[in-house]
């Protein structure tokens, strides 16, 4: 029998093994934290944020990433590497920041960049703007669906051509999230103000400044640290660093270090040296400025600016939270009129309204004495003006600020009256003051005007007012008899529902977040979804109040040849007159090469004067799609659709197939560049198809129109409900025609967002034969009329018998007969238009071959059988593919079965999904 080891040796061996295991575990652990300053890491993500959708939660572990590892990201359209950094924003948007050290904004903006992600996924990078303080050029792209399941998320690579450098993304740095980030920095003469999200997360609960340090520099080992003197909300103040002369010329990144966690917050903020003090009276201060954070307020801005400038506001400061409604052009037009001083701050950061207001209080302290914080739907007025003022005066607002006996006032607050929709169904052309005249009984929250010298060092605010410093300043709240704010809060439904995009306050839950249902920040009776309540137009109407309406009619209204108009309406007409009569031609070298050079040159001015074969001026844009369909009246087919898609042959496209879109099965072709489709259907019997509207000018930084059919197919709303929802953001797209249909409910709706300036077109499609090309539904274009007539003839030939789809495709959609030149619409040069006047198009252009890329036929029988036939061109070969299936039917318990009972007498048929593929040489 072997001898036992002594007890002391046994204990020693056990402890030794435990020690080895602990050491080994510590070495392998990626989340181990060293107390050495050299081991500080930039944390890629905020792990404390929880989301209902698990796919939106990035649970990547901490990684030791030095910012130097991803400063030089190659942009292939530029001849040298440039700095870039990506941040994941809400709604799967990716913000890509590119250094602008060499002032190359215009070159970057026009480079046609793409975001390249792992798995060879590509997305266009759309120019968003230029950050004023960091100087970074901002682009946005959408994180592809396949990459949303990856952990961790990787930063994309920018490239001029899609598909290039995709291998480089495999080793790209981890992409930080917007909710744990140092995003802005501003230097005063005495300290540095750093804006950081994700540290002080709860309103009213702020961590002590002693828990943090400001960190300056890329290299953590050699970074300079200074003490934090204030920590309130997202605003941190700290001392300036001591930087040597050679380092002062470089861009220095700044962030906040959380001492207890030995952690540095990821940062896109850069330190700037203290500003030099201006000589006395070199730039005199404005007595009263107005600041607000805005998103897509272009159509409201002129009324707001006109009103406030006449009653005492000297300067307007707009923190633009990512507008895409041509706000920049509207501001430029107003400033050029010479009467206004409007400054736009590009402020893209989500849910940072309090931080933006804090920023304005410190940044504009040297140029504004008082700052007024009201939104563009809020108008201050005094009831005394009704009887005492025949015209506005620039002293009116300033008289509310202080009196000779009350010079210690640091803040003046004014209560609000909230107005309801007042029977309005669309935005009133005369403006919100004239359009809304019925409000709630009880006054609501207040807004304030603040003496910037009185703002507390912490810059703490709660939207409606600021904390004041400890000196002699006091806070005055005006009585309703002295002044009141008309808050046009609950407007016509299309305007109000646009607010469901996102709340701008850091501490107010978004509309769709199912928390705090009784909060004052929520709309009574609305809930968490943008579903229009019954009698919305009559809601929030307790008191009819036309005081400001009558006052502004007196001040700003007048009779014109077109009737009674407000000043902001007349100015719009003058601006249109000035801008649209511009006849300056463009440089011929910058021609797009679509039409004949002389024609393009003649049409390159804003205002065009040119003789054409017919006198009509239209514009044609690819892609061009012709839809001919029979809806609702055929004895066998509730829907019979034929379709030609014209496109450049070199544009990447995927053929007909089932594909997953956010968990929804969708059948159709796919544009690989933008990710959308032109014709698709779902297993539930929903169909959507799209054409582009030909127009002379196109909006920049718009969404892809191919996204529209997908939005409907993923929706559970009826076609009409979906169309009404489209009213919210139809302006974000270039011109489109969209048909959406739900076969089981026998409902089809036509939607178009053109002409510009008119309300969106929503039209129920009546049963019968319809033609949709690149103009309005059933427009009588020559080839559309020809195809419609021949389509009807062939249907009459078949009678009540089954339609031979391939025969119809060959006889109708392959028609190369050109139109009579005298009947062409006069869009481009006559020869160019003539070559595109056939149903099937083949033409060689400077950009390459262009013409009919695919022909499709979609038939849906009365019993629910769907047949989708597609004939498509790929690598100079024509292929055919047919996919058949049965529409899924919902049972009473709301589950879905994969069978469909049809023709009453037939047995239940199993789900069919047959696919066949053949091809022949072109």
340 shares a domain with 480: yes
Query: For the stretch 489-526, what's the b/e string if a residue is b when 16 or more beta carbons lie within 10 angstroms of its beta carbon?
Result: bbbbbbbbbbbbbbbbbbbbbbbeeeeeeeeeebeeeb
Q: Is 268 helix (H, G, I), strand (E, B) or coil?
A: coil
640 shares a domain with 512: no
- In which residue ranges of the chain is pLDDT below 70? 1-83, 101-107, 110-111, 161-170, 245-249, 277-282, 338, 402-407, 472, 500-502, 506-507, 509-512, 514-521, 570-633, 694-701, 757, 822-833, 836, 845-847, 890-922
546 shares a domain with 630: no
The total of other beta-carbon atoms located within 10 Å of residue 33's CB is 14
What residue spans of 173-297 are helical by DSSP H? Answer: 245-248
User: Which sign, positive or negative, has the C-alpha torsion 194, 198, 202, 208?
Assistant: negative
Query: For the stretch 384-418, what's the b/e string if a residue is b when 16 or more beta carbons lie within 10 angstroms of its beta carbon?
Result: ebeeebeebeeebbbebbbeeeeeebbbbbbbbbb
| DSSP assignment of 561-623 | TTEEEEHHHHHHHHHHHHHHT--PPPPGGG--SSS-HHHHHHT-SSS-----SSS------S-
Query: For the stretch 148-184, what's the b/e string if a residue is b when 16 or more beta carbons lie within 10 angstroms of its beta carbon?
Result: beeebbbbbbbbeebeebbeebeebbbbbbbbbbbbb
Among 776, 781, 779, smallest CA distance to 614 is for 781
Q: Are 851 and 863 in contact (CB under 8 A)?
A: no
Q: Is the backbone peptide bond immediately before 604 cis, with ω within 30 degrees of 0?
A: no
Q: Which of 124, 154, 171 is the last residue of a domain?
A: 171
d(C-alpha 830, C-alpha 276), whole Å? 63
Q: Which of 524, 554, 584 is the last residue of a domain?
A: 554
647 shares a domain with 520: no
What residues have CB less than 8 Å from 170, skipping those under 6 apart?
Answer: 118, 154
Among 748, 883, 874, 875, smallest CA distance to 805 is for 883
Q: Is 637 helix (H, G, I), strand (E, B) or coil?
A: coil
661 shares a domain with 550: no
Q: Which pair of structure tokens corresponds to residue 42?
A: 């930039």
Q: Are 367 and 343 in contact (CB under 8 A)?
A: no
> Does residue 31 form part of some domain?
no
d(C-alpha 435, C-alpha 423), whole Å? 9
Three-state secondary structure along 505-524? CCCCCCCCCCCCCCCCCCCC
Host domain of residue 847: 624-921
d(C-alpha 899, C-alpha 912), whole Å? 9
Q: Are 84 and 98 in contact (CB under 8 A)?
A: yes
Give the pLDDT confidence score for residue 553 in this predicted structure: 95
Angle between helices 298-310 and 547-556 (to 10 degrees): 80
Q: Which of 124, 148, 171 is the last residue of a domain?
A: 171
Q: Is 892 left (phi over 0), alpha (psi -120 to 50) or beta?
A: alpha
Give the pLDDT confidence score for residue 697 in this predicted structure: 61
N residues, the chain: 922
- Provide φ and ψ at 332, rounded to 5°: -60, -40
The total of other beta-carbon atoms located within 10 Å of residue 754's CB is 19
d(C-alpha 626, C-alpha 837), whole Å? 12
> Does residue 259 form part of some domain?
no
635 shares a domain with 517: no
> Does residue 242 form part of some domain?
no
Among 435, 416, 407, smallest CA distance to 480 is for 416
519 shares a domain with 647: no
The H or E element containing residue 874 is strand 865-874
CATH number assigned to the domain comprising residue 80: 2.40.30
d(C-alpha 751, C-alpha 772), whole Å? 12
CATH number assigned to the domain comprising residue 420: 3.90.550
What's the start-to-end Cα distance of the chain, in Å? 89
561 CB-contact burial (10 Å; exposed 0-12 / middle 13-18 / buried 19+): exposed
> Does residue 650 form part of some domain?
yes
397 shares a domain with 479: yes
Give the pLDDT confidence score for residue 798 in this predicted structure: 79
815 shares a domain with 702: yes
The total of other beta-carbon atoms located within 10 Å of residue 822's CB is 8
- In the block, which residue shows the tokens 């291998």? 167
Among 582, 294, 539, smallest CA distance to 439 is for 539
665 shares a domain with 540: no
Q: Is 317 helix (H, G, I), strand (E, B) or coil?
A: strand
Residue 258 pairs with which residues in a beta bridge?
A: 212, 263
d(C-alpha 324, C-alpha 749), whole Å? 27
Pairing of strands 474-477, 409-418: parallel
446 shares a domain with 344: yes
489 shares a domain with 371: yes
d(C-alpha 856, C-alpha 423), whole Å? 45
Give the pLDDT confidence score for residue 648 in this predicted structure: 77
CATH number assigned to the domain comprising residue 846: 3.60.60.10
Q: Is the backbone peptide bond immediately before 152 cis, with ω within 30 degrees of 0?
A: yes
Q: How many structural domains comprise the chain?
A: 3
> Does residue 274 form part of some domain?
no
């Amino acid at each position: 029998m072997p001898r036992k080891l002594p007890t002391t040796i046994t204990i020693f061996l056990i402890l030794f093994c435990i020690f080895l295991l602990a050491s080994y575990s510590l070495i392998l652990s990626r989340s181990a934290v060293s107390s050495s300053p050299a081991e500080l890491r930039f944390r890629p993500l905020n792990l404390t944020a929880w989301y209902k959708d698990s796919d939106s939660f990035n649970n990547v572990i901490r990684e030791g990433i030095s910012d130097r590892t991803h400063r030089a990201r190659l942009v292939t359209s530029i001849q040298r590497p440039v700095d870039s950094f990506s941040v994941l924003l809400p709604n799967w948007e990716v913000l890509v920041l590119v250094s602008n050290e060499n002032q190359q904004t215009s070159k970057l903006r026009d480079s046609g960049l793409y975001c390249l992600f792992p798995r060879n996924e590509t997305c266009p990078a759309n120019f968003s703007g230029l950050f004023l303080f960091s100087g970074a050029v901002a682009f946005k792209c959408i994180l592809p669906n396949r990459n949303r399941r990856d952990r961790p998320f990787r930063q994309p690579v920018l490239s001029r051509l899609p598909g290039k450098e995709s291998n480089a993304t495999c080793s790209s740095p981890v992409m930080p999230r917007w909710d744990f980030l140092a995003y802005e920095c501003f230097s005063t003469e005495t300290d540095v103000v750093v804006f950081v999200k994700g540290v002080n997360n709860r309103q009213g609960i702020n961590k002590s400044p002693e828990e943090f340090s400001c960190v300056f520099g890329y290299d953590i080992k050699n970074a300079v640290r200074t003490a934090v003197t204030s920590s309130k909300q997202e605003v941190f103040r700290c001392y300036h660093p001591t930087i040597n002369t050679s380092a002062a010329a470089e861009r220095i990144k700044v962030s906040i270090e959380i001492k207890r966690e030995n952690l540095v917050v990821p940062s896109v903020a850069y330190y700037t040296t203290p500003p030099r003090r201006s000589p006395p009276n070199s730039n005199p201060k404005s007595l009263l400025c107005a600041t607000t954070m805005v998103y897509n307020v272009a159509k409201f801005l002129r009324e707001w600016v006109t009103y406030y400038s006449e009653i005492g506001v000297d300067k307007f400061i707009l923190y633009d939270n990512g507008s895409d409604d041509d706000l920049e052009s509207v501001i430029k037009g107003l400033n050029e009129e010479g009467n206004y001083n409007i400054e736009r701050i590009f402020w893209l950061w989500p849910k940072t309204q309090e931080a933006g207001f804090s920023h304005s209080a410190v940044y504009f302290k040297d140029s504004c004495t008082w700052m007024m914080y009201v939104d563009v739907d809020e108008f201050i007025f005094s009831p005394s003006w009704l009887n005492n003022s025949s015209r506005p005066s620039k002293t009116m607002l300033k008289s509310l600020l202080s009196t000779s006996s009350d010079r210690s006032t640091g803040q003046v607050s004014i209560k609000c009256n909230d107005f309801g929709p007042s029977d309005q169904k669309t935005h009133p052309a005369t403006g919100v003051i004239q359009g809304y005249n019925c409000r709630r009984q009880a006054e609501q929250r207040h807004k304030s005007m603040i003496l910037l010298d009185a703002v507390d060092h912490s810059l703490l605010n709660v939207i409606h007012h600021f904390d004041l410093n400890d000196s002699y300043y006091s806070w005055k709240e005006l009585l309703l008899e002295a002044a009141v704010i008309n808050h046009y809060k609950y407007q016509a439904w299309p305007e109000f529902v646009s607010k469901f995009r996102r709340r701008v306050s850091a501490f107010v839950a978004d509309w769709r977040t199912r928390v705090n249902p009784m909060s004052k920040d929520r709309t009574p009776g609305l809930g968490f979804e943008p579903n229009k309540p019954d009698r919305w137009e009559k809601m929030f109407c307790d008191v009819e109040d036309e005081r400001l309406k009558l006052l502004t009619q007196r001040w700003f209204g007048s009779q014109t040849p077109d009737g009674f108009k407000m000043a902001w309406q007349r100015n719009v007409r003058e601006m249109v007159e000035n801008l649209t009569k511009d006849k300056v031609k463009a440089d011929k070298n910058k021609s797009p090469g679509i039409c004949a050079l002389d024609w393009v040159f003649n049409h390159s001015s804003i205002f065009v004067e040119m003789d054409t074969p017919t006198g009509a001026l239209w514009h044609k844009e690819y892609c061009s799609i012709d839809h001919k369909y029979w809806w609702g009246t055929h004895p066998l087919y509730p829907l019979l659709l034929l379709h030609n898609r014209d496109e450049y042959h070199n544009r990447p496209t995927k053929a007909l197939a089932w594909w997953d879109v956010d968990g929804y099965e969708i059948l159709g072709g796919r544009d690989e560049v933008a990710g959308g489709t032109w014709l698709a259907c779902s297993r539930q019997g929903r169909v959507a198809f799209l054409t582009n509207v030909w127009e002379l000018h196109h909006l920049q930084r718009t969404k892809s129109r191919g996204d529209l059919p997908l939005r409907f197919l993923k929706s559970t709303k009826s076609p009409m409900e979906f169309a009404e929802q489209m009213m919210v953001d139809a302006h974000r797209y270039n011109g489109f025609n969209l048909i959406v249909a739900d076969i089981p409910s026998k409902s089809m709706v036509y939607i178009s967002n053109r002409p510009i300036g008119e309300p969106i077109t929503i039209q129920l499609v009546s049963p019968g034969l319809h033609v949709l090309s690149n103009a309005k539904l059933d427009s009588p274009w020559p080839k559309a009329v020809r195809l419609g007539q021949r389509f009807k003839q062939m249907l009459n030939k078949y009678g009540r018998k089954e339609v031979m789809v391939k025969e119809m495709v060959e006889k109708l959609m392959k028609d190369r007969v050109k139109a009579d030149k005298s009947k062409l619409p006069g869009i481009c040069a006559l020869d160019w238009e003539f070559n595109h006047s056939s149903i099937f198009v083949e033409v060689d252009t400077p950009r390459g071959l262009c013409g009919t890329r695919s022909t499709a036929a979609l038939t849906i029988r009365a019993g629910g059988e769907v047949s989708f036939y597609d004939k498509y061109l790929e690598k100079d070969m024509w292929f055919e593919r047919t996919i058949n299936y049965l529409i899924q039917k919902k049972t009473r318990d709301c589950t879905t079965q994969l069978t469909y009972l049809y023709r009453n007498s037939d047995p239940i048929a199993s789900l069919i999904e047959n696919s066949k593929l053949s091809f022949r040489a072109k």
